[in-house]
A and B are shown apart, each in its own frame.
Chain A
């Protein structure tokens, strides 16, 4: 057996290359035009992509924190997969935000945005930055956020910005799985043991009243919705409420009313860069290495 090179050594006794390497990798965005449509305001589009991108980046960070401490190893893999999907969405959206605002160096624009901004420049909803007290909070928050996001991406797949439309179409497939995963866990915990029922009920009772900010329309969203680029969040409400009601019922949990469609606290809150101490904590960690080595390349 060849011994120097793991690749050639492995082909000795396994001519079936499909296992572990897989086939058919492709970049669905490769052929999408990257220019911003002429009548679309670049600054607005950039800000909108930051909102959607930061939601994914920050939620992914919270999921990453569960790697090595999930209740079961199989779920560690599942949560890592979801975190990777969301991270991928964040990268595409931050890059789009960079292009739309006319950034010059494209290669690193996602990193400039992820590691160079302070908390007040992040546009994610406050719900994304919450830390999870337990696994019930984790799957409850995941269900809430990906249900909203799936409804939004479903509509954004026909956005007039071709790149945003392509990113959304790709994301829909990922988010469908995420929602399924989260919903199954909410049902299992709700309809599991007495202890898990009470924990799941407590998590939903805490989370759902905080969902109002997801449906508050930001001026940027309003303008871009008129231009056929963005989606008015309030139009996602019916689908969101329907999914929640269905999952809560299957989980034998009491229905909880989502909060009114207003920002959580402070003027415009997360979408306007008004965050809690939890985002500071996330950024301190996330940006620590990148900021500690000025001029570093990785």
Chain B
């Protein structure tokens, strides 16, 4: 029997690991990192679309977008909550984010240039997120798996509202159709990158699969996403910007070209168009809000004294 016999047994039987269980330190730290990066992505992910709330061209779209961006804040909180069950502290995780010590999804370092981007983000970015996240509903860590179930359910509205917006715009003016195509051209490749580097360059995948905190490889998920998106693009009447995209009957999948992996590395390590601005926005909110949080804590402490 190893030190973690119960842990190993639970993993082998496909049972969930729960907060108070004994677990290998590396499982705990991997889980905290994965959940925190995911939480940061939800929070940073509010910004690209958040910029369009005040500019949404109809009141219905304004309400939808506001509710969607609000959901992303909720997702971040569900996830920070899961990370805190492992002994992480949200204040500390926030600090790591705004000091650039912990990463978030590189997709949010691209700028949103038109309102069509709101639709394309819903369709492709939330769509890719769903592909990534549905298997995580079976993550071996219980609180994370439960948070993912709730998140995935909420995400499904995100993807559908985006696609519906694009459908509507495609039925509009020629200028609107051009806006949609332009947004698709800009977001397609970054969306494919959301699944991470190719399996051959993804050293941690094996351990993550063994621990059942990851259920499919990056390349499997990417293939899945391409297969789902191609008919949706056709229905919409847009072209996906990949000349290599073609049905392969022998594989029963679409063949597709490789994203520019150098670009992914560049964006992840801070070279994206928006990296600095995204982090600066969070840092500013944290700094500007410090006096408010302190005041609330001070008021609560006073009330506690009165109650005694």
A binds B: yes
- Footprint of B on A, CB under 8 Å? 1, 3-4, 6-7, 9-10, 13-14, 19-21, 57, 61, 64-65, 67-74, 76-77, 80-81, 83-84, 87-88, 90-91, 94, 108, 110-111, 114-115, 134-135, 187-189, 191-193, 195-196, 199, 285-286, 288-290, 293-298
- Footprint of A on B, CB under 8 Å? 43, 46-47, 50, 52-63, 66-67, 69-70, 73-74, 76-77, 80, 115, 130, 134-135, 137-138, 149-150, 152-156, 159, 165, 168-169, 171-173, 175-176, 224, 228, 281, 284-285, 288-296, 298-299, 302
Closest to B67 in A: A84
Closest to A187 in B: B299
Closest to A135 in B: B292
> Quick check: B57 and A290 within 8 Å, CB to CB?
yes
> Quick check: A196 and B76 within 8 Å, CB to CB?
no
> Quick check: B134 and A3 within 8 Å, CB to CB?
yes
> Quick check: B295 and A193 within 8 Å, CB to CB?
yes
- Which residues of the other chain, A, contact B58 by a CB distance below 8 angstroms? 108, 111, 115, 290, 298
- Which residues of the other chain, B, contact A14 by a CB distance below 8 angstroms? 137, 149
| With known contacts A187-B299, A193-B294, A67–B289 Cβ distance under 8 A | no
Give the contacting residue for A80; candidates B70, B224, B284, B302; CB below 8 A.
B70
- Which residues of the other chain, B, contact A91 by a CB distance below 8 angstroms? 59-60, 63
> Quick check: A192 and B295 within 8 Å, CB to CB?
yes
Closest to A19 in B: B150
> Quick check: A68 and B285 within 8 Å, CB to CB?
yes
19 contacts between A and B (CB under 8 A): A1-B134, A6-B134, A6-B153, A9-B137, A9-B152, A13-B137, A13-B149, A20-B154, A67-B70, A69-B284, A71-B292, A72-B292, A73-B77, A83-B66, A91-B60, A110-B59, A135-B292, A290-B58, A298-B165
Q: Give complex CA distance A134, B302 in Å.
A: 24
Q: Give complex CA distance A50, B224 in Å.
A: 50
- Which residues of the other chain, B, contact A135 by a CB distance below 8 angstroms? 288-289, 292
Q: Give complex CA distance A61, B55 in Å.
A: 10
Give the contacting residue for B289; candidates A72, A90, A286, A293; CB below 8 A.
A72
> Quick check: A77 and B50 within 8 Å, CB to CB?
no
- Which residues of the other chain, B, contact A76 by a CB distance below 8 angstroms? 70, 73
- Which residues of the other chain, B, contact A289 by a CB distance below 8 angstroms? 52, 55-57, 115
Q: Give complex CA distance A108, B57 in Å.
A: 12
**Quick one: which of A81, A94, A110, A192 has the most chain B CB within 10 A?**
A192
**Quick one: which of B62, B77, B293, B296 has the most chain A CB within 10 A?**
B62
Shortest Cβ gap from A250 to chain B (Å)? 10
Q: Give complex CA distance A199, B291 in Å.
A: 10
| With known contacts A293-B57, A293-B173, A6–B281 Cβ distance under 8 A | no
Q: What are the 5 tightest A-B residue pairs by CB atom distance, in nearest-first order?
A: A71-B289, A192-B295, A196-B295, A71-B292, A80-B70
- Which residues of the other chain, B, contact A193 by a CB distance below 8 angstroms? 291, 294-295, 298
Give the contacting residue for A6; candidates B70, B152, B224, B298; CB below 8 A.
B152
> Quick check: A72 and B293 within 8 Å, CB to CB?
yes
